[in-house]
Amino acid sequence: MCYAVFISVFSSDLSGRRCKSSPPKKMHVATKRKEAVHTSYQWAELGYVVKAGCEGEEMWCCQTCKYTAIYYREDEVEKNTRKARAFLKKAVTDTARFKYRVATYRKMYDHKVIDTREGWAKKGFVVIQRRRGEVMFTNGFLGRTARYYYDADVKKDEAAAGRFLELLRRERNARRRELARTRKDRVHAAEVRRIKEEAIQAALEAEKRGCWLGYLSPNPRILLFDCETGGLNCVDNDMLSLSYQLIEFQTIGRKEGQCSVKVLEKGDYYFDWPEDEDRVTEEAIYVNGLTRERLAELGTTDRRTALIAFSDALAQARMAVAHNAAFDCGFINAAAADADVQVTWPRIYDTMKRMTDYCRLFWYEGAHKYKWPRLGELAEILEVDTSDIEFHLSSADVEVTKRCLQKIIAGGLDYPFTHRI
C-alpha cells in the first residue's frame, strides 16, 4: 500500500496528476472506456512498453475527476519484457528517494539496522565519536524527525550507555519539573487575574448603584408604563390599552430586598374599539388578545381622561421607564395629539436597548450583532419570577418591567443613562 502511494506521488508519468481548482475539463474517464487503456506503468507491469512517438491521451483516472494521467491504447504499446522490467526498476528508484527519508521505510526496504541514540543506549551501545548519523522522519506521517545511526556508527559499551541514559533521565525530569512549575505559575496568574476582575466588577457595580442613588436622590419617583396597540404603526393603528405605575425607591442596596419600592399610583385603562376597523390588525389582536368582546368585558375608558391621568403622574416622576420605549411613546404621543392633551416627557430609560449588551442574544448563530431582548427574555436572564404574569397585557408588562428594574439597580448592571424620544 505504501509502495503504491510512493508511485502515485513521485512519478508523474506513472499515475495521475492532481487537477487544479478550475472546473473539470471535458475529457474521457479511463474507467469508462470500452477498449483497454492503461498508464505506462500499468503496461510495464504487463510486460509492455510505449512505442516511440506515441503521446497517449490525458484522461480522468475515475469519475470523481480529481486526478488525471496519460493513458495509452493497446495499439500504442509493444511487447518488450526487458525494457518493461528496466522501466519498473527506474520507477522504484525514483520513489525510493522519499522512502529512504523515513526511518520505518528504511528498515523495511533497505534491511539495515538503524535506531536513535537513546534506542542504541537501551541495547548497551553508544555512538562512536564524530559519527553524525542521518536525520529522518520517525514514521510515514512526517510529523517528527530524529537523528538515526546505523549499526556501523555504534559500539558496545554498557557502562557508557548507562551513564547516557541516566543523564537523559535527569534532563527529562528537570524538564518535567520546569513544565509543572510553569503550569503552576499559569494557574496562579489566572487566579490572580480572576480576583482582580472580580474586584473591578464589584467596584463597577458599586459605582453604577451609586450613580442610580445620586440620580434619584432629588426625586426618587419613577413612572413605568406600557401600552397595547392594534398594530405597529402609530399613524395607521390605534392604542387599545395603557397601564402605568408611579413608584418611589426607598432603599437601593446590593441585594434585591434592599432595593425596595413603594407603589404610589397605578393605572390600567382600556379603550373602545375603533370605528375604523382597518386601524386594528389581526396579527396584533392575536398577540395581545384584546378583541372587541374582551375590551367590553374589561371596561373601557375615555382616551382623554386616561391620558390626563397619565400626564399628571408623569409630571411627578424623575424618570420614565419602559421596554421598547420608542414604540410606546409614539402611540401615546399620537393619542395625546388627537385628544389635545399635553404630555411632557422626563428622561426615559429603555430596558430593551440598555440591556442589549448585557443579554448578548443573537438572531441566529454566527450573527455579528446582538438583538434587542424581548421582555420575557430579559426577565429570564435576570432570573425574575414571572410565574404569576400573563405577558402581552399592559398591566402585566409594567409589573415585569418593575421587577427587572429592581434587579438592574440592585445588581449595578447598568448606569442610569437614558434615551430621549
Quick one: 200 and 275 in the same domain? no
Residue 417 located in a structural domain? no
CA distance 419 to 421: 6
CATH number of the domain within which 273 lies: 3.30.420.10
Quick one: 224 and 175 in the same domain? no
Quick one: 373 and 236 in the same domain? yes
Residue 297 located in a structural domain? yes
CA distance 167 to 148: 19
Q: Which of 136, 156, 176 is the last residue of a domain?
A: 156
Please, are residues 79 and 47 in contact by the beta-carbon 8 Å criterion? yes
Residue 405 located in a structural domain? yes
Nearest Cα to Cα of residue 233 among 332, 331, 303, 324:
331
pTM: 0.57
Please, are residues 317 and 267 in contact by the beta-carbon 8 Å criterion? no
Quick one: 317 and 169 in the same domain? no
Quick one: 192 and 211 in the same domain? yes
Quick one: 273 and 360 in the same domain? yes
Residue 421 located in a structural domain? no
Quick one: 209 and 128 in the same domain? no
pLDDT of residue 27: 67
Residue 350 dihedral angles phi and psi, to the nearest 5°? -100, 110
pLDDT of residue 65: 63
Quick one: 230 and 209 in the same domain? no
CA distance 270 to 143: 75
Quick one: 169 and 151 in the same domain? no
- All cell numbers assigned to 364: 441566529
Residue 418 located in a structural domain? no
Please, are residues 147 and 135 in contact by the beta-carbon 8 Å criterion? yes
The pLDDT averaged over each successive group of 10 residues in the chain (421 residues) is: 37 41 57 75 87 86 72 90 82 56 67 85 92 82 81 92 93 93 91 89 83 85 92 89 91 61 91 88 87 88 92 93 93 92 92 91 84 91 85 85 90 73 41
- Number of domain units in the chain: 4
Residue 176 located in a structural domain? yes
Residue 166 located in a structural domain? yes
Please, are residues 328 and 225 in contact by the beta-carbon 8 Å criterion? yes
Please, are residues 290 and 322 in contact by the beta-carbon 8 Å criterion? no
Quick one: 178 and 211 in the same domain? yes
DSSP run (H or E) holding 206: helix 158-216
Query: Quick one: 353 exposed, middle or buried, by C-beta within 10 A (0-12, 13-18, 19+)?
Result: middle
Query: Domain range holding 202?
Result: 157-217
Where residue 65 falls (left for φ over 0; alpha for ψ -120 to 50; beta otherwise) is: left
Q: Which of 59, 76, 99 is the last residue of a domain?
A: 99
Quick one: 178 and 204 in the same domain? yes
Residue 272 located in a structural domain? yes
Q: Which of 116, 132, 156 is the last residue of a domain?
A: 156
Quick one: 237 and 358 in the same domain? yes
